[in-house]
Amino acid sequence: DARVTQTPRHKVTEMGQEVTMRCQPILGHNTVFWYRQTMMQGLELLAYFRNRAPLDDSGMPKDRFSAEMPDATLATLKIQPSEPRDSAVYFCASGPLHGSGGGEQFFGPGTRLTVL
Amino acid sequence: AQSVTQLGSHVSVSEGALVLLRCNYSSSVPPYLFWYVQYPNQGLQLLLKYTTGATLVKGINGFEAEFKKSETSFHLTKPSAHMSDAAEYFCAVSDDGGSQGNLIFGKGTKLSVKP
């Protein structure tokens, strides 16, 4: 049963600390997305990659957030330094080869981040 | 640019009643449309999708949606609500006809089901 995995599932940290979230997309998927979900803002797209290359990261605060795909099986989202307003659930999603599935995305279970 | 509007941030129905969640979209290209469901403390899960072909699409858990081009709508329905349907539902449209893989999501509708 292929699925997107995310680690850690929960993270509590103090303001100013570095946070790294990891995502393993479904094998064979070539698009990867990072979303943030909060009660106030809902679901926001932070960044996405195709074939490991960043296509759009306009939703991401550039001064503290960075997203990378070191290889096809790993995507990372890093916050440095973290702030209380970064508290949210961060989702990773992956999608199959473009043109198939019509753009369907498969979501991971999320990382719930709390910054104190 | 593509966009999605979900009418009603909260909908409450009684168990056994009809569920109707509304979604209108705007798209400059033939739309690919999706409904996702999010149960508490979980990620989003695909309910159903419309790409091409038949405009009435059936999904999991008894849900279906009808693509109406003239009304730019893709409303989600279920004839009889079950307690387990309580969740948040998101409508989405593909950013560019499905070729790039980016989806534009609506703000979501929380469905409550009363016993």
For chain A, say whether B59 makes contact (Cβ under 8 Å).
no
For chain B, say whether A31 makes contact (Cβ under 8 Å).
yes
Residue pLDDT, tens place only, B12-40: 999 999 999 999 999 877 888 999 999 99
Residue pLDDT, tens place only, A1-45: 789 999 999 999 999 999 999 999 999 898 999 999 998 888 999
Contacts of B45 (CB under 8 A, 6+ apart): A107, B36, B37, B38, B39
Q: Does the beta-carbon distance from A31 to B101 stay under 8 Å?
A: yes
Nearest CA in chain B to A30: B101
The mean of the pLDDT values for chain B is 92
Contacts of A11 (CB under 8 A, 6+ apart): A19, A21, A111, A112, A113, A114
Model confidence at B100, pLDDT cuts 50, 70, 90, reads low
Nearest residue to B103 (alpha-carbon basis) of A106, A69, A6:
A106
Sort out which chain B residues have CB atoms less than 8 A from A2's CB and list them.
none
Type of residue found at B83: M
What's the half-sphere exposure (Cβ side, CA atoms, 13 Å) at B29? 15
Question: Is the pLDDT confidence value at B11 over 60?
Answer: yes
Contact A53, A32 (CB under 8 A): no
Provide the 10 A C-beta neighbour count for residue A76: 15
Contact B65, B76 (CB under 8 A): yes
